[in-house]
Structure 1
Amino acid sequence: MSVTAFGAVANRLVGRRKSKGDPECPTDPVRSYSYDVDDHRANPGKPIGDGSAGQGWAFKQALIGTLKDLCTMHKTKGYEGPHKVQPSYLRTFEKMLDFLDHKTGDFFVSYKRIVDDTGQSRGNVSAMIECAEHWGFMDHVRRSEKVERAAGQPGPRRKQACNSYLFNCERRMEKPLWAIFWRRLMSNLKRLQGAAVRAAAFLKRSFNTVAQPAPRAVGKELAQQLVLLDQAVARRDVVGSSASP
Structure 2
Amino acid sequence: MKENFIRSIELGVALTAGYMGAITMVQTTLYAKIITKIKASFIGELLKSYLNYIDLAVIALVLILIFYLWRKADDTSFARIFNLNMLLFFSAVLDYSRFNWIGLIFNLKPEPEVSANWVFGVGLLLQMTYLFLRYTLRFRYTRDELLGRGATADDINQVSRGQMGYLAIILFLTSLFTAGIFFSVPFIDRAISQPFRSVPVPHLVIGFIVVMGISASLIFYLRGSIIQKSSDNKVEEDKVDIQEI
Do both proteins adopt the same fold according to a TM-score greater than 0.5, normalized to the shorter chain? Answer: no
TM-score (norm 1): 0.24
- The structure that is strand-richer by fraction is 1
TM-score by length of 2: 0.24
